[in-house]
Each structure stands twice: as structure tokens, then as C-alpha cells.
Structure 1
Amino acid sequence: MYFEYGKKEISYLLNKDKKLAEVIEQIGMIQREIDADLFSSVVHHIIGQQISTKAQATIWKRMQDALGEINAETIISADPAELQSLGLSFRKVEYITDFARKVHDGTFNLDEIWQMSDEDAIKALSSLKGIGVWTAEMILLFCMQRPDIFSYDDLAIQRGLRMVYHHRRIDRKLFEKYRRRFSPYCSVASLYLWAVSGGAIVGMKDYKPKNG
């Protein structure tokens, strides 16, 4: 499954911002995979913290092979040492098992998260051990497909903004200006800024000062 967007979102952004419009026209449609299962998405994001995407994929595959379905019951049933042997740190095992127990005993209700506003869902998710605001925002985008996510804490989005708009630095005030411009389709704008940051358009450079 990929993040769903189409003509409505693209037309809005094309009309709102000339420079972003040029980026969208050069790159075309972007396919970003999503995981629609909220439990496995939280676990996946905890695994991925402070490691490479490749390492995250390797550990995730090992976990799937070892546990089969990844849910609260299989995580709780697993021996912590077994989870660590898959490549997880002691701390990440602690975070994942704490989350699984809370879901299992009803302390944390995943179904309620789907009904919440973005702000409340971010607050609820970031109350979990090992989940900060940025991780919660990524879960809203890449699991729940919320349309208006724009993360100030995401360094690649800041880099994308510097590259597209030739800024040297992105402070909160400037970031909020772009959030207002792209809303209510900030998530789609984020996809394109990530692509730019990753080198999707040859010749675009980062204007961040070398000593900054």
C-alpha cells in the first residue's frame, strides 16, 4: 500500500506555490509505502530509531520470521532475550514490550487514536516510552495517512525547504509560514521535500552555511 493522494492535492499545491509546483512537475507522482496496522507501525518506528533504513528492514524481517504476526500477544509471549537476539537494543525491547502490555491490558487503546485529531493523536502516541513527537508525526503520516503532517523536527524536510527556497536556515517562524501555505495538504508537500532532500532533482543544492 502507498500513501494515497491525487489530482485534488496536487492541483492545490501547484496553485499555491510556484517553486513547489516546479518540483512536483519534475518529480511526478511519488509512491511511499505505508503500514496501515497501527500496532506494527509503532513497533516498526521504535525499531528504526537511530539506525539506518537498511538495518531497520533487516531487524523487521527477522522479527516477522521469528514471531509470525507482530501484535501485542506475540510480543508479550516472546522472551526479551530472543527479541534482543534479533538485533534490538535492551532499551528498544523495553519500549516495545511496554507498548505491547499497555495495548494488551487496555491501558492504551489503539482504536481511539484513529478517532483523535492530529494534535491529540500525537500527544497520545508520544506519551508512550520511546515515542517522541517526530516519531508520532511519522506514524500519523505513514500509517494513518493523515493529510496535513509537516514535521519541524524532521531534518530532511528542513533541508528540502532550504534547497527549494534557497534559505540558509529554517527557524520555527519560517517553517510555520510554509505550513500555512501547504495546509491542508502538508503531507504531500512533505513527500516532495523528502524527495528533493534525497537528491531527486539533479543540481539542487543545500544553502545551509558550512559552519551552521
Structure 2
Amino acid sequence: MYFSYTDEEVEYLKKRDKKLAAAIEVIGPIRHEVEPEIFPALVHHIVGQQISGAAQRAVWARVREGLGEVTPEKILARGAEGIMPFGLSARKADYICDLARRAASGEFDAEALRGMSDEEAAEYLCRLRGVGLWTAEMLLTFTLQRRDVLSFGDFGIRRGLRMLYRHREIDRERFERYRRRYSPCGTLAAMYLWEIAGGALPGAADPAAAEKKPRAAKCAEGRKKGS
């Protein structure tokens, strides 16, 4: 299952921003997988915190293979020590078990999120241990498919903005200007920014990375002279 969007949303973004419009024309249609079930999706996002995409995929594959179905009951049956061998840190295993306990007891009502606004859902999710704003925003994006989510806390989105608009830095004030420009189609804009950050736009480079290279070269030269 993939994130769904309309031609009208694409055209809206094109009209709002010429540079993004040009990028969309080059990149073309995009497909980003979504996870429709809230509880396993939330576990998946906790698994992926602070690790690379490749590591997340590997650990998540072991979690799914080991549990069969990612449910509160199956997690609680194994406990934190039982799920750590899948590749989880003790802290993440504890967070996931706490989430499972709350879901099993009804303290956390995953389905209630569907009827909440973006702000209400993010606040509700952030009450959970191990869930911060970025994790909440990823759930809003890849499970609830909300239309106007652009995460300042996401490195890939900020990198995509730098590459598209040639900025060395994306501070909060500059980010908010783009967020307002893309609204109410911020989620689709985020999808394209992730594509750009991943190299889908030929010739686009990250000015922040380019700025670091001369410094690194200078340091290397200094080490060579000193050897």
C-alpha cells in the first residue's frame, strides 16, 4: 500500500513554488509505502529511532519474523528480554513493552487517533514513553496519511530543502516559510523533498556538505605536512 495523493495536490504545489514544480517534473510520480495498522506502525517507528534505514529494515524484519504478527499480546508474552534478541536496545524494548501494556489495558487507544486533529494526535502520541514529535509526525504521515505534515525534526526533509533551494542552513524561521508555502499539501511536499535528499534530482547537491569538504581537505593537508 502506498501513500495516495491527487493530481490537484501536485498542481497546487507546482503553482506555489517554481523550483519545486521543476523538481516534480523531473522526478515524476512517487510511491512511498504506508502502514495502515496503527499499533505495528508505531512499534516500527520506535524500532527505527536513531538508526539507519538499512538497520531499521533489518531489525524490523527480525521483529516481524519472530512475532509473526506485531500485537500487544505477542509482545507482552515475550517481554523486553524476549524481544531484545531481534536487535533492539534495552531502552527500545522497554518502550515497546510499555506501549504494548498501555494498548492492552486500553490506556492507549490507537484507533482514537483517526478522529483527532493532527495537533491532538501528536500530543496524544507524545504522552507515550519513547515517542517524541518526530515519531508522532511519521505516524501521521505513513499511517494516518494526513495531508499537511512537514517535519522540522526530519534530517531528510531539511536536506532536501537545502538541496532544492541552495541554502547552507535551514533554521526554524526559514523552515516555517516553506511550510506555510506548501500548506495544505505539506505531506506531498515532504515526499518530494525526501526524493531530492536521496539523489532523485540530477545535479542537486547539499550546500552544507559542500561547505564541510574544504575544511576536511585543509585538515588533511595539515596532517600531511605534520607527518
**CA-atom RMSD in angstroms:** 1.1
1:25-44 aligned within 5 A: 25-44=25-44
Q: Secondary structure of the residue that 1:2 maps to in structure 2? A: coil
Over alpha carbons, which structure has the higher Rg? 2
User: What TM-score does the superposition give when structure 2 sets the normalisation length?
Assistant: 0.90
- AA partner of residue 145 (structure 1): Q
Partner residue, 2:223? none
Further displaced range: 60-69 or 108-117? 60-69
1:27-106 aligned within 5 A: 27-106=27-106
Alpha-carbon shift at residue 203 of structure 1 (Å): 1.1
1:103-142 aligned within 5 A: 103-142=103-142
- AA partner of residue 100 (structure 2): A
Q: Secondary structure of the residue that 2:207 maps to in structure 1? A: coil
Q: Distance in 2 between matches of 1:98 and 1:80?
A: 9
Q: Distance in 2 between matches of 1:80 and 1:127?
A: 20
Q: Secondary structure of the residue that 1:19 maps to in structure 2? A: helix
1:33-70 CA-partner distances (Å, limit 9, x unpaired)? 00010000110001111122222222222222221111
- AA partner of residue 90 (structure 1): A
Q: Distance in 2 between matches of 1:167 and 1:52?
A: 24
Partner residue, 1:23? 23
Partner residue, 2:194? 194
Q: Distance in 2 between matches of 1:48 and 1:67?
A: 17
**Runs of 4+ off more than 3 Å:** none
Q: Distance in 1 between matches of 2:135 and 2:28?
A: 27
**Structure with more helix by fraction:** 2
Q: Does 1:176 align with 2:176?
A: yes
Q: Is the 8 A contact 2:103 2:110 kept in 1?
A: yes
Q: Distance in 1 between matches of 2:151 and 2:140?
A: 11
- AA partner of residue 170 (structure 1): I
1:92-137 CA-partner distances (Å, limit 9, x unpaired)? 1100000000011011111211111101111111111111101110
- AA partner of residue 196 (structure 1): I
Q: Distance in 1 between matches of 2:166 and 2:65?
A: 46
Q: Is the 8 A contact 2:79 2:97 kept in 1?
A: no
User: Structure 1 residues 79 and 108 mapped into 2: Cα distance closer, same or farther (>3 Å)?
Assistant: closer
- Number of equivalences: 211
Q: Does 1:206 align with 2:206?
A: yes
Q: Distance in 2 between matches of 1:87 and 1:189?
A: 33
Q: Distance in 1 between matches of 2:201 and 2:18?
A: 16
Partner residue, 1:6? 6
User: What TM-score does the superposition give when structure 1 sets the normalisation length?
Assistant: 0.96
Q: Secondary structure of the residue that 2:113 maps to in structure 1? A: helix
Percent identity between the aligned chains? 47
Q: Secondary structure of the residue that 1:79 maps to in structure 2? A: helix
- AA partner of residue 76 (structure 2): I
